[in-house]
């Protein structure tokens, strides 16, 4: 049994040595992904825009009534769906990266962190593309730019790390059982409707529990607040969940390191 100090040292060493391989995997995967797609990078734009437009139309036609928002509803929804898309990509990234690398894992010995770092690079690339949507929203709706906008990348990073943490926790089981990946898709659809992505957070009990018990809510709302208003409305829950996210990420990393060799041995048997 390794001591905590040796474990931390080995984790940090493997993380550093995995960077070059992670970059090569990232370049390979991005090239293959967009080379084989007719619409290319437009797939990064379409999901959040289409989802946002659907709810904007439903709200404008009075088909649904989500109540008043403190910023224009189109801005609220389009920023929310863009952030949500980024979260779901982060959630699915670790499991997808490991599943795609199954043949390589069974034959080659390399730092397994390279797969997760490569997936993180892909999410950052997606964020870079989606930032065009945010800029477009700001220009079209003349959203006022504030100094708080400078802190928005930190909140968005925390949203990404939360997705990666949850995805990393599910990766060992998801690698062994295909049901996990299917369940993850269904789970994210359910989570979308219990997260204030397209509606303001409920204020009355028991609906207010949606934002109280859902850990994604304070991070997503905090990122949207910083982008559109320059200040986080409820800073307390945001800070608490952010700290818990960092703890969960570290715990998920340890579980990943311990479980993956066992899974590889099982795949090779």
pTM: 0.90
pLDDT-derived band at 168, boundaries 50, 70, 90:
very high
Which helix (H) or strand (E) element contains residue 213? Answer: helix 209-213
Local structure of 29: helix, strand or coil:
helix
Q: Is the pLDDT of residue 36 over 80?
A: no
Most confident of 47-56, 138-147, 154-163: 154-163
Average pLDDT, the chain: 85
Whether 92 and 67 have beta carbons less than 8 Å apart is answered as: no
pLDDT-derived band at 5, boundaries 50, 70, 90:
low
- What are the structural domain ranges in the chain? 4-268
Instruction: Tell me how crowded residue 66 is: count the other CB atoms within 10 A of its CB.
Output: 15
pLDDT (0 to 100) of residue 3: 62
Query: Measured in Å, how far apart are the chain's first and last C-alpha atoms?
Result: 25
> Can the peptide bond before residue 229 be classed as cis, meaning omega within 30 degrees of 0?
no
pLDDT-derived band at 82, boundaries 50, 70, 90:
very high
Q: Is the pLDDT of residue 200 over 90?
A: no
Residues 244-263: tens digit of each pLDDT: 999 999 999 999 888 888 87
pLDDT-derived band at 8, boundaries 50, 70, 90:
confident
């Amino acid at each position: 049994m390794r001591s905590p100090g040796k474990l931390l040292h080995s984790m940090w060493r493997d993380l550093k040595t995995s960077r070059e391989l992670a970059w090569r995997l990232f370049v390979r995967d991005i090239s293959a992904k967009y080379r084989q797609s007719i619409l290319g990078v437009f797939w990064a734009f379409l999901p959040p825009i289409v989802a946002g437009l659907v709810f904007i139309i439903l709200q404008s036609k009075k088909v649904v009534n989500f109540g008043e928002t403190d910023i224009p509803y189109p801005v609220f929804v389009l920023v929310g769906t863009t952030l949500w898309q980024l979260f779901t990509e982060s959630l699915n990234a670790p499991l997808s990266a490991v599943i795609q690398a199954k043949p390589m894992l069974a034959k080659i010995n390399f730092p397994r962190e390279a797969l997760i770092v490569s997936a993180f690079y892909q999410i950052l690339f997606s964020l870079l593309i989606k930032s065009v949507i945010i800029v477009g929203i700001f220009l079209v709706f003349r959203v006022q730019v504030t100094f708080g906008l400078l802190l928005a990348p930190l909140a968005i990073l925390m949203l990404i790390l939360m997705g990666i943490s949850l995805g990393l926790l599910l990766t060992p089981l998801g690698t062994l059982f295909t049901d996990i990946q299917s369940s993850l898709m269904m789970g994210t659809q359910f989570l979308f409707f219990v997260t204030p992505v397209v509606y303001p957070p409920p204020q009355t009990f028991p609906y207010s529990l949606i934002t109280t018990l859902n850990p994604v809510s304070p991070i997503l709302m905090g990122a949207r607040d910083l982008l559109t208003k320059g200040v986080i409305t409820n800073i307390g829950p945001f800070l608490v969940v952010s700290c818990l996210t960092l703890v969960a990420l570290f715990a998920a990393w340890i579980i990943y390191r311990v479980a993956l060799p066992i899974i590889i041995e099982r795949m090779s048997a």
